[in-house]
Amino acid sequence: MTAKDRQPANTGMVCDYLCRMFSLTGRKAVVTGGGGVLGTDMACAMARAGADVILWDVREEALKASVERIRKETGRTEGVDYRQVDLMDEEQMFAAIDAAGDFQILLNACGGGRGKGPLIEQDMETFRFVMKLNVEAGCFLPMKVVGKRWIEKKVPGCIINIASMSSFVPLSGVWPYDAAKAAVKNLTEGAAKEFAPYGIRVNAIAPGFFLGEQNRRLLTNEDGSLTERGKAVVAHTPFGRFGQAQELMGAVLYLCSNEAAGFVTGITVPVDGGYLVHNI
Ligand SMILES: NC(=O)c1ccc[n+]([C@@H]2O[C@H](COP(=O)([O-])OP(=O)(O)OC[C@H]3O[C@@H](n4cnc5c(N)ncnc54)[C@H](O)[C@@H]3O)[C@@H](O)[C@H]2O)c1
């Protein structure tokens, strides 16, 4: 029997099955760094799958643009909101968590690097800033506060952190970013174990290289051509290109799904065009 002769699958049945597996209807997600390139697309994917989403970011104009885009793409007027919040400021973060009401998904996409250079020339103020942005504001503190709340309220929530290739292997010259993203993977694993008895799952996604606001200047010139660093990244990526944000959405929806990933916790999923398996 050829593929052509086979009975076509019942589309309605397929859709029902996939919908049950991946629908986020009835759930609400907070997306930190929601005004950024990856955060916006991830929030949009969750909204398209039926979740209500609240985007947090320090940049209000970016938030407004992201919310407008998500509303347009999903055709939704309700359940897509934002709050301007500086996550480096604990009080602001606590107030945002209180104001968010009940939510069951926390996606920590706030983060990024600053500059690049030799270890012996690393500016320590920048080092501390990047560590604080990615480890405290972008991962640990939201997990701590939201985790406490979910444990008290018996919410079997889902946390997704954003790690990096540098969680696995250091990227040259970005010292605090390397240290911070290695910590994000480590904290994801530790929190997964501690929260598992409460039914809270903690996982991470490690994107390869995607053009975001925080790395655009490192990877591309003003005219859009690649910097030396950008060329090195593409040369090291077996797919020979940067990723497109949409290529992260399957991992987001999989990890959010209690049906598809209900027994999955503590993993860091690379979505990297083969970056981590590059060889010669
Ligand atoms: N783009 C990539 O290739 C890539 C690869 C691996 C990991 N990541 C990680 O993914 C996440 C998102 O990156 P992106 O590429 O979309 O970058 P981005 O710069 O487009 O988004 C990051 C967002 O975080 C926000 N932010 C920064 N400081 C904040 C603060 N104090 N309070 C609240 N919000 C703040 C920024 O305003 C920005 O909108 C980051 O953690 C980044 O390190 C990105």
Residues of the chain above pLDDT 90, percent:
94
Nearest CA to ligand 1 atom 11: 109
Q: Hey, which of 41, 94, 110, 143 would you mutate to test ligand 1's pocket, going by the most ligand atoms within 8 Å of its Cβ? A: 110
- Tokens, residue 113: 């690097």
Where are the chain's structural domains? 24-208+243-269
pLDDT band of residue 5 (cuts 50, 70, 90) is confident
Q: How far apart are CA 166 and CA 175, in angstroms?
A: 10
In the predicted structure, residue 1 carries a pLDDT above the cut 70: no
Residues with CB under 6 A from ligand 1: 33, 35-39, 57-59, 62, 85-88, 109-112, 133, 137-138, 162, 164, 207, 209-210, 212-215
Q: Where are the beta strands (DSSP E) in 15-157?
A: 28-32, 52-57, 80-84, 105-108
pLDDT in tens, 156-177: 999 999 999 999 999 999 999 9
Give the pLDDT of residue 221.
96
Which has the minimum average pLDDT: 6-20, 122-136, 198-212?
A: 6-20
**Which pLDDT tens digit goes with each residue over 40-80?**
999 999 999 999 999 999 999 999 999 999 999 999 989 99
Query: Following DSSP, what letter does each residue of 57-75 receive, concatenated?
Result: ES-HHHHHHHHHHHHHHHT
Predicted TM-score (pTM) of the model is 0.96
Per DSSP, 226 falls in state: B
Distance CA 176, CA 153 (A): 35
Query: What's residue 3's pLDDT?
Result: 67
pLDDT at 2: 73
What's the CA gap between 58 and 248, in Å, rounded? Answer: 23
- How confident is the model over 222-244, as pLDDT tens digits? 999 999 999 999 999 999 999 99
Can you tell me the distance from the alpha carbon of 163 to that of 185, in angstroms, rounded to the nearest whole number?
Answer: 6
Whether pLDDT at 7 is above 90: no
pLDDT digits (tens, 9 = 90+) for 110-166: 999 999 999 999 999 999 999 999 999 999 999 999 999 999 999 999 999 999 999
| CATH number for region 24-208+243-269 | 3.40.50.720
**Mean per-residue pLDDT over the chain, rounded:** 96
